[in-house]
Structures are given as structure tokens and as C-alpha cells.
Structure 1
Amino acid sequence: MKTIRFAATAVAVSIATLLAACTTMGTATSGYPTLNGAKPLVIGHRGASGYLPEHTLASYKKAIEMGADFIEPDLVVTKDGELVARHEPNITATTDVSTRAEFASRKTTRKVDGVNETGWFVTDFTLAELRTLRAKQPNAARDKSFDGQFQIPTFREILELAKTESARTGRTIGVYPETKHPTYHVDAGLPIEPRLLALLAEYGYTKKDSPVIIQSFEVSNLKALRKLTQVRLVQLVDADDVDSKGNVTLVAPFDKPYDFAVAKDSRTFPDLLTPKGLAEVKTYADGIGPWKPYLASAAHVMGADGKPRDLNGDGKITDADRVALPPTDVVKNAHAAGLFVHAYTFRSEAPGLLSDYKGDPKAEYKRFYALGVDGLFSDFPDTAVSARDGK
């Protein structure tokens, strides 16, 4: 199993240098070490999902109000062929479907990316049925007081929201759809891509400068899309976890694009981030969307007993007990290949912030802006915008 390894030297100096660089990057529109020198984009991850139930019109609107440049809907397909926004085909965790007696018989087990999942799946519901459900906050650590208030939106409604809010705010609000589990949807006879392109064409979103970016963890669908549209495409890059030394770990189905697994292609996600892999990605995509440890990872401090030390003394071992490692060359190599870099996912909860950031989520944003990321996905877009614009 392949992993990316990171040197653990000069950590404090590296972080201090990067954060200092952030304070001297110049104006809000220039001076950033991005691919084209523009200020990095803030992408509202599933909307403003740190505050409201994800993938709801309310969450997307809040992200826009907080200054997000793009809103990000994950797209899945209903039984009757409608594009809707949910994080996964399995809607058990993000809706109240498990409490609805009328849908009890729909509970089933399906294979998603080679793994059996049990629950309720969008592909078994018509849009009308789906509209009777209500969204809920899947993260137990976040505010659940808004559960049950919002419907599942269609992609058309999201495009309409972006259009309306662009007119209201006087700035262009982009839409950044992800095709969720393309192979799963093809196997279900409900491919995402033709539906997505048809709807984008209705709105005139067919060019490279259209306010749309399409992303996917799979490769073959992006290659097919490249032949059909000029809209910007992004290759997402996943992994399973990070070990105590800061090495990215790979466990199926997070070790490689699932279409690679189906085709018995031995390459893994890290292979896409080598200079050779990036050169290939450039033939069909405009950018990469890597999990942020690929750009700069972190390690636990090990005690004499060989176990990670509880640096903050809260009795738990979390990312807050890790120390940052020097950055990799992924951003530099991607830019050299002509690819922009949009990293994911940035959050504000204390257990997810490295000890170096001392509980300040802005410190993490500033570090990655200084690394030269061209954009990032945030559950808390107001914090991302504030860190970027010095507010």
C-alpha cells in the first residue's frame, strides 16, 4: 500500500514562515501565490454546513451571505431522474427518512463503491416522495435546532438561487457541483453527467469562464465530460486517514478512484499527485481538489510509552494533539503543470485544529493561503473569507 511521507523537520520555522508570508501577500486582489495571482476562492462546502443542515437552500444562501464565491452541491439522482443535492445516495444520516413509517419498507442494502451500505437511497425515491422528507444535521457536535425545517433542493433550484443572489449582491456566485459516485449511478441506470450538462446548458453554462466547476473523485467520467463541455473540471483526490507519523493512509474504497478499482487499475490517489500523474490530469481537468493532508500533514507527538501524547490535556487524542509538518510539493507541482488547487475540508471545531493553530481556525486558513492554494472548501465560509481578506 502506497503512502505519502512527510519530513518532520523544521516544523516551527516552517509554520512561522508561512504565516508571516500571509501577512505580506499584498492586496485582496493580488499578491497571492496562486496559479494566476488572483485571491483564492472560498467555496461554501455543502453551503454553510457548519451552521445549518447541509445541502439545503438555507445553507447555500447563508454561505453566499457570508461571502462565499462558490456554493458546492453534491449531486445524486432520484428514481425518476431528477438531480438533487445530498452528500451520498444513502440519505439515512442527512434526512428524517428513518422516522417515516410510510417509507419503512424502502430500507435496503446496496453496494456503493464496492462497500455494502444499509439504509434509504435516493435512487429508490421519486422527487415528489423526497420532497416530503426534511433535512437534518448529521454532525452530532453541531447545532441540531434546525432539523426538520428544510426540504431537499433540486439542482435547478440551486442554480436559480445562485442566479438570484448574484443579481442581489452584485457579484457572481459560482456553483461547484460534485458528481457523487458516478459508477453507482451508471449501474442504477441513472447517470448523472448527461442530466448535469443538459441543465447547465439551459443556463448557458457551457464555457470555461462560466461560473461553474464540476468535480469528481472518479476519472473516466471527467475524461468523458472533457469531450462534451468547456466548463472547468476538477479531479478530487481522497484518502482514508492519516497515521500518527503524518503519513496519508489508503484503505478501500478511499485508496483510489472507484472506476480504477472496477478497471483493475493498480494506481492509487497519490499516483495522481506525482508530476507524471498531474501531467495526465491536465489532459482532462483544469484543477485538482486534494484532501488537505496531501498538501501539509501533521503528526502526533509520541510519548515514552509509544503512544500519542495528549498535548491539550483534554483526555482525548485528536487532531488537536498533532503538530504540523512541512508542506509537500503538491501545490508547486500542480501549478507547474498548469493546474489550480482547491483543498478540502476546512472546519472550525477545536478537535480538528492542529496544536500549532492554538484554537484559532483562521491560522489554518492563513497557512494554506500562504501555501498558494487557489481555493478551499469550508464549512464556515465566513471564517475563511475573514482570514483571506484580513477582516
Structure 2
Amino acid sequence: MLVNKTIFHRLAGVGLFVTACALGPLGTSPVARAQDIQQEKVVIAHRGASGYLPEHTLAAKALAYGMRADYIEQDVVLSKDGVPVILHDIHLDTTTDVAARFPDRKREDGRYYAIDFTLAEIKSLNVTERFKTDSGKQVYENRFPMDFGMFKVPTLEEEIKMVRGLNHSTGRDVGIYTEIKDPAFHREEGVDISAAVIAVLEKWGYNNPDSNSFVQCFDWAETKRIRNELNYQGKLVQLLGENRWGPPEGTDYDYLKSEDGITEMARVVDGIGPWLPQVITGLSENGSAVVTPTLIAAQRAQLLVHPYTLRADQLPKWAGDMDIALKAIFDDAGIDGIFTDFPDQAVQYLARNPDA
């Protein structure tokens, strides 16, 4: 998509966003870029418009589409009968009423795992805003009220059909951005989640460099396997976490964040998905973004950079509001895209600042 076309779409999208909302609820281093051409800046709806509706519901995805997000994210786990379903976690107990409906189905650790439930059983659950299992209180108290939960867990194929259907009816080309969740866990359970997900994506044509889609994973060994063993030819992104979070076996995030790690990743993937503090650490005295060596190395390697997660109700300490954060991300750091729970705000920022 050409930059000028993108700007036109964003400006037109502000009006469509208003219509959509009316229809329903809603070390310091300088930036060094290797690219010689201006990159399109993209907005990725993190679990949908999850700042307004419960994450990973079709309602949240439809709202994100109406808000003019460029990509809509799908986190994927497998059901007991091997169906890829959309959940952020391998567990069901932080976003559904599984504990009330199936009180005897928890494992010894007290958790309810999606892999232990058939698709029909998962479909019987109600999805709510994310909540804490110990207190029952929702994580973001000012978001969609838990008591109003009336949603269901979609399958990957159902979500693809909805996005493709909306693309057909609107003439747009919104992409999908699929994360393969915890492949090592699934392998221990005797199933190959990556093969199952890739099969669905290939069925729908998301299997080549030109398809409007990304596949992402935190597990570096699995990312390499997806490319080299499963021979996936679509766009791949390596997600970056912190070693203190407990990375997948064989994944060293400290190494991957280094220049050598970036060079190695660039042989396999099209982009990286860093945690936002891994690319911007704050603002300088003049108010511009302080960027990291990881970001500079990734841009020199011509990797796309799509950090996670910008939230209007949980901003970085250095950002007083969303505009300050978005200016740092897009204008100062030259980052290619952002995962956000509030895609409307990022879309409107880029419409107001077409040269970002």
C-alpha cells in the first residue's frame, strides 16, 4: 500500500470511526534508520479493540475493524479436539466462566486448560472482561463491565471469515496478525499447534510474502521451525520478552536483543515484536524518544518493528497521554507499527499527523 493511499484511508477513517461508535458500544542513542524509503505506519488491534470490549471476542474484532485498524491480532491455542481457538492464554479461567460451569475440570494446579475442553464445551462458556482469579475483580476496572459478559470464544477460522467478509463488504484489506501460543506446552500435550495453525492460514491464502498477514511467536526455536521445517512462506515476526519472565527453553531474549541476535533473526523473520520498553526507554530533555541499541540494530537490519502494548489506561511512565506516546513511537523513533488496545486513538493520531 502506498503511503499517500494510507494517509487518505486514515483521514477517511476518522469519519467511519465516528459512525462505528454511533452504531454500538464501543543507553541514549540517536535514531539510525537503514531504510531509504518512507515506511507505512500500521496500527495493530491488540486482541481487537480490547480497551472497549472483552479481548478476543468477535465483537471486539468488529469494533477494531470499524476503527480502521490495519491489522487485527489473534492469539491461538488448541481445543481438546484440535481446533485452533482464539484465546490469549492456554487457560480459560481468567476470561470465561469455566470455573462455574465445569468446577471439577481443573488440573492439580487449580487452572482450567483449553486443551482439556472440546470445542463444543468451550463454545458453551461466556467470555467476559479479563479478571483476577483470586479476587474475581476485573484487571482494568474502567473497561467493559464483567457483569455484561455475553460473548463466546471464536475459532481462528471464524475470525478469518469475519475479517474476510468485512473486507469484501467494505472494499478494504485489513490484515490478520496471528500468534502461536506456547508451542512447547502443546507439544507436551501431544499436539503440534504450529502445524494446525499454519494449515488454517494456508487454507485461506495467508501463506506467501504478499498475503496481508503476519505470524508471530515468542519461542525462537519454534519460529525457526515454522520457517524451515513447516516451510511457511508468509511474513514472520519474532516476539521478544525478558529472560526474567521465564522464556521458552532455548530462547535467550538478552541475546536476541543484541546486535548478533538481530542479525541472526534477520535471516529468518521479517520483523520483531519487542516489549515497548525494549525500544524506547523514555524521553530526553527536549522531549524526544530515547531509543535503544536493539531498535537501532533492527532498523539497520531492515526488520519491521511492531512493539507491544500501548494502552491509554496504562501508559508508560514517561508518557503523559496517548499523543505523547504515539509521537515518540512514530515520529521520533520511526517505528513501523504499534500494538494497542485503543486502535481508534492511534488511527486518529496518524490521520492528524500524516508525516509521522
TM-score, length-scaled by structure 2: 0.82
1:340 aligns with 2:340: no
Partner-residue secondary structure (3-state), 2:309? strand
Question: Which of 272, 285, 295 is 1:331 aligned to?
Answer: 295
Q: Deviation of residue 147 (structure 1)?
A: 3.9
1:126 aligns with 2:118: yes
> Which ranges of structure 1 fall in alignment gaps of 5 or more residues?
1-24, 110-116, 240-249, 262-267, 300-322
Partner-residue secondary structure (3-state), 1:118? coil
Instruction: Give the aligned partner of residue 72 of structure 1.
Output: 73
For 2:146 and 2:245, the matched residues in 1 are separated by 35
For 2:346 and 2:209, the matched residues in 1 are separated by 25
Q: Deviation of residue 342 (structure 1)?
A: 0.4
For 1:146 and 1:86, the matched residues in 2 are separated by 20
For 2:169 and 2:34, the matched residues in 1 are separated by 29
For 1:296 and 1:324, the matched residues in 2 are separated by 10
Percentage identity across paired residues of the two chains: 34
CA gap 1:219/1:83 in 2 versus in 1, 3 angstroms:
same
Instruction: Give the aligned partner of residue 237 of structure 1.
Output: 240
Partner-residue secondary structure (3-state), 1:171? coil
CA gap 1:357/1:220 in 2 versus in 1, 3 angstroms:
closer
CA gap 1:252/1:39 in 2 versus in 1, 3 angstroms:
closer
- The one-letter code sitting in structure 2 at the alignment partner of 1:131 is K
Q: Deviation of residue 209 (structure 1)?
A: 0.9
Partner-residue secondary structure (3-state), 2:65? helix
Instruction: Give the aligned partner of residue 325 of structure 2.
Output: 364
Asked if 1 retains the 8 angstrom alpha-carbon contact of 2:128 and 2:146, the reply is no
For 2:325 and 2:303, the matched residues in 1 are separated by 23
Instruction: Give the aligned partner of residue 259 of structure 1.
Output: 249
1:377 aligns with 2:339: yes
For 1:210 and 1:26, the matched residues in 2 are separated by 21
Q: Deviation of residue 91 (structure 1)?
A: 1.1
- The one-letter code sitting in structure 2 at the alignment partner of 1:362 is D
Q: Deviation of residue 252 (structure 1)?
A: 4.1
Q: Deviation of residue 49 (structure 1)?
A: 0.5
Instruction: Give the aligned partner of residue 387 of structure 1.
Output: 349
CA gap 1:367/1:185 in 2 versus in 1, 3 angstroms:
same
1:222 aligns with 2:223: yes
Question: Which of 243, 249, 269 is 1:285 aligned to?
Answer: 269
Asked if 1 retains the 8 angstrom alpha-carbon contact of 2:206 and 2:213, the reply is yes
Asked if 2 retains the 8 angstrom alpha-carbon contact of 1:34 and 1:373, the reply is no
Asked if 2 retains the 8 angstrom alpha-carbon contact of 1:177 and 1:213, the reply is yes
- The one-letter code sitting in structure 2 at the alignment partner of 1:126 is T
For 1:146 and 1:207, the matched residues in 2 are separated by 42
Number of residue pairs aligned between Structure 1 and Structure 2? 311
- The one-letter code sitting in structure 2 at the alignment partner of 1:230 is Q
1:27-67 Cα deviation digits (max 9, x unpaired): 9559xx79552321100000010000001110111111001
> Which ranges of structure 2 fall in alignment gaps of 5 or more residues?
9-32, 131-138
1:297 aligns with 2:261: no
Asked if 2 retains the 8 angstrom alpha-carbon contact of 1:294 and 1:330, the reply is yes
Partner-residue secondary structure (3-state), 1:104? coil
Asked if 1 retains the 8 angstrom alpha-carbon contact of 2:7 and 2:351, the reply is no
Asked if 1 retains the 8 angstrom alpha-carbon contact of 2:236 and 2:271, the reply is yes
Instruction: Give the aligned partner of residue 24 of structure 2.
Output: none
Instruction: Give the aligned partner of residue 211 of structure 1.
Output: 212
CA gap 1:324/1:189 in 2 versus in 1, 3 angstroms:
farther
For 2:148 and 2:281, the matched residues in 1 are separated by 34
For 2:208 and 2:77, the matched residues in 1 are separated by 23
Asked if 2 retains the 8 angstrom alpha-carbon contact of 1:96 and 1:148, the reply is no
Q: Deviation of residue 146 (structure 1)?
A: 6.7
Partner-residue secondary structure (3-state), 2:296? helix
1:143 aligns with 2:144: yes
CA gap 1:72/1:121 in 2 versus in 1, 3 angstroms:
same
CA gap 1:34/1:375 in 2 versus in 1, 3 angstroms:
farther
- The one-letter code sitting in structure 2 at the alignment partner of 1:260 is G
Partner-residue secondary structure (3-state), 2:305? strand
For 1:168 and 1:27, the matched residues in 2 are separated by 19
Partner-residue secondary structure (3-state), 1:357? coil
1:352 aligns with 2:315: yes
1:181 aligns with 2:182: yes
Asked if 1 retains the 8 angstrom alpha-carbon contact of 2:173 and 2:212, the reply is yes
Structure 2 matches for 1:50-129, cutoff 5 A?
50-100=51-101, 103-109=102-108, 118-129=110-121
- The one-letter code sitting in structure 2 at the alignment partner of 1:347 is R
Where does structure 1 differ by over 4 angstroms across 4 or more consecutive aligned residues?
25-30, 33-36
Look at both structures and tell me which one has the larger radius of gyration over its CA atoms.
1
| Cα RMSD, aligned residues only | 2.3
